[in-house]
């Protein structure tokens, strides 16, 4: 690196290309082009930060998945985390390690997918880090957002007696929906404006796994109602019903929100749902630790069956 | 991924290990363990965001560089960018793709290096994303900070007549200093409190290359004074003086700050330097575009000689 006098313009040109295609927003007075970006969050709100890294061969396969959808997903999973905090996104920061010999074309397609989703949610692409190498594609996206006036919405606030809801049907996402899902930003804002959310998260590993984060951090238990679990049409209807249910609870990558509210807020939400969508009640928080499910056979422990990335 | 019922606990365990070793700070009410982190920046300040990705084989070589120093550097380069905006850091977010069969040991050493530096600057390690894979080590760090009361300090504010300073000697960093440098956070705060900084950046590619960002964005030119360029003791003193100078201007990875202030602010800064260090005057901004250097032979164009990562 030292003393090299060549002009290797590739990265600067790509950064210019990206900058020209990045919309500007008043909350991001300084975006791409300085040492760092400057954001102006709304006074009095807290700043939300989340980051996700996606790798070729692990989260997608270059050559099998259209790069626009890879780019889109790398932003979408972060927007989903902002939604899970009941906030709205402001700016995204894209770092990528691009395979050297397809870097520019791949980068443009990835960026096109990101930029389309960013525009839908008024998110500024405000910075990042562009590298090329001989390894596989790696994309890291950080999204910075802000809260919208409610008290903090964490995983630790669920109370016995709360009703558990999800924002949409579950299961079968890996058939394709995991690449094209809509992050539930507007649904989160609808909820924050209507009720007091005691706990919320976005479903990445499946209800059976993710709900446990709320139960553990809130020191409560839950009983789900099998008949109420909304099974997505992406789940094969030819499977036995119990297998469909298992898939809805464990497939993961749903990116729907799961949240808990008091009984009275639940009644209000069901009586006056937000315009255009309706939360789906799937069970209750109770004081007895552990996670159970009520089926036609009675109440039984809920198999976790979520997946976690190995690290050995 | 779908329907996998195994419990592969590695990543969750590592995240717990990291969380237990992360100091807590009042400006980060929610760190690791929820869908996203919550920060409380000082009211009225702007939020600074920067991100850098470092890759094995590109920015370091696992097996040759101690992993503690790799971890330290991955945070240090981001802190340097926060300094370049005249701000102070609040929180860091670490994403990593860890080589599968050395993941845990490597991760602990990397984290130890980061955490030490984070503590020095009261930075909360407030989130991230942990992955393992069959590829080489990739680390992405995002740092969020805040401004400290001055107007924005950008690359675009240099004025003809400004004096150009750097915070320390230059060149030879790749002999080792690039892994151990101290990000100039406290020097930046010293400056913001004393003078009006018209333009500032941190030196990653060398003065000859980086100064051009200020010149281009400010639409000004500069003349450096060869006798004033501070040559670091890491530069081989047996080289001809002109070669030493070239290395000081083009080696890169100095991570000193380069800044410009008005003539009167320059006088004040030299007469009453901050405690413990003294800015080094290296030249002047002038209205004639381009970058020149004054040597014993007269004024000549400054060779750029900076380096940029290829992307082909």
- What are the residues whose beta carbons fall under 8 Å from the beta carbon of A4, sequence distance 6 or more? B305, B307
pLDDT tens, position by position, A76-118: 999 999 999 999 999 999 999 999 887 688 989 999 999 999 9
A103 close contact with B: CB closer than 8 A: yes
pLDDT tens, position by position, A138-193: 999 999 999 998 689 999 999 999 999 999 999 999 999 999 999 999 999 999 99
Interface test with A, best of B47, B157, B171 (most A CBs within 10 A): B47
Taking CB atoms and an 8 Å cut-off, how many pairs form between chains A and B? 300
- What are the residues whose beta carbons fall under 8 Å from the beta carbon of B216, sequence distance 6 or more? none
For residue B310, pLDDT beyond 50: no
As a CATH number, domain B163-301 is 3.90.650.10
DSSP A259: E
Residue contact A37–B53, C-beta within 8 A: no
Interface test with A, best of B35, B50, B143 (most A CBs within 10 A): B35
Residue B173 Cα, gap to closest chain A Cα (Å): 9
* Domain range summary for chain A, segments of one domain joined by +: 10-147, 163-301
B11 close contact with A: CB closer than 8 A: yes
Closest CA to A27 of A190, A146, A112: A146
| 3-class SS shares of chain B: helix, strand, coil, % to 5 | 30, 30, 40
Q: Rounded distance, CA B166 to CA A94, Å?
A: 30
* Contact list, B251 vs chain A (CB under 8 Å): 2-3
CA B245 to chain centre: 22
Residue contact B44–A43, C-beta within 8 A: yes
Interface test with B, best of A49, A242, A301 (most B CBs within 10 A): A49
Closest CA to A259 of A52, A84, A5, A90: A84
Residue B104 Cα, gap to closest chain A Cα (Å): 7
Minimum-distance CB partner of B252 among A2, A127, A134: A2
pLDDT tens, position by position, B292-306: 999 988 999 987 763
A255 close contact with B: CB closer than 8 A: no
B253 close contact with A: CB closer than 8 A: yes
Query: Is the ipTM of this structure higher than 0.85?
Result: yes
Provide the pLDDT for residue A21: 78
Is residue A235 within a helix (H) or strand (E), and if so which, with residue range? none
CA B189 to chain centre: 15
When pLDDT is cut at 50, 70 and 90, the band that residue B4 belongs to is very low
pLDDT tens, position by position, B46-70: 999 999 999 999 899 999 999 999 9
A171 close contact with B: CB closer than 8 A: no
Q: CATH topology for A10-147?
A: 60s Ribosomal Protein L30; Chain: A; (3.30.1330)
The residue in chain B having the minimum alpha-carbon distance to the alpha carbon of residue A140 is: B140
Interface of B with A in 189-228 (CB under 8 A): 200-202, 217
């Amino acid at each position: 690196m030292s003393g090299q006098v060549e002009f290797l313009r590739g990265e600067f040109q790509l950064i210019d290309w990206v900058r020209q295609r990045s919309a500007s927003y008043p909350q991001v007075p300084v975006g791409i082009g300085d040492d760092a970006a400057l954001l102006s969050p709304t006074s009095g709100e807290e700043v939300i930060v989340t980051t996700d890294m996606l790798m070729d061969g692990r989260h997608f396969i270059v050559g099998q998945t259209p790069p626009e959808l890879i780019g889109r997903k790398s932003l979408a999973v972060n927007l989903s985390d902002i939604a899970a905090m009941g906030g709205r996104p402001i700016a995204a920061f894209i770092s990528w390690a691009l395979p050297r010999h397809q870097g520019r074309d791949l980068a443009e397609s990835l960026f096109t997918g990101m930029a389309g989703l960013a525009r839908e949610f008024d998110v500024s692409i405000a910075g990042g880090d562009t590298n090329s190498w001989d390894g596989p594609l790696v994309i890291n996206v950080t999204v910075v957002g802000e809260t919208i006036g409610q008290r903090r919405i964490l995983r630790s606030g669920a109370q016995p007696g709360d009703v558990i809801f999800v924002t949409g049907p579950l299961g079968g996402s890996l058939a394709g929906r995991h690449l094209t899902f809509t992050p539930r930003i507007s649904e989160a804002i609808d909820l924050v404006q209507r009720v007091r959310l005691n706990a919320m998260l976005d479903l990445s590993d499946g209800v059976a796994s993710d709900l446990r984060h709320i139960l553990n951090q809130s020191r409560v238990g839950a009983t789900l109602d099998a008949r109420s679990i909304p099974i997505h049409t992406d789940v094969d209807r030819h499977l036995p019903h119990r297998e469909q249910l298992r898939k809805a609870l464990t497939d993961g990558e749903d990116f729907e929100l799961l949240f808990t509210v008091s009984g009275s807020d639940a009644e209000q939400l069901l009586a006056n749902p937000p315009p255009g969508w309706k939360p789906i009640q799937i069970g209750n928080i109770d004081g007895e630790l552990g996670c159970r499910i009520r089926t036609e056979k009675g109440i039984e422990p809920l198999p976790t069956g979520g997946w976690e990335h190995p690290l050995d």
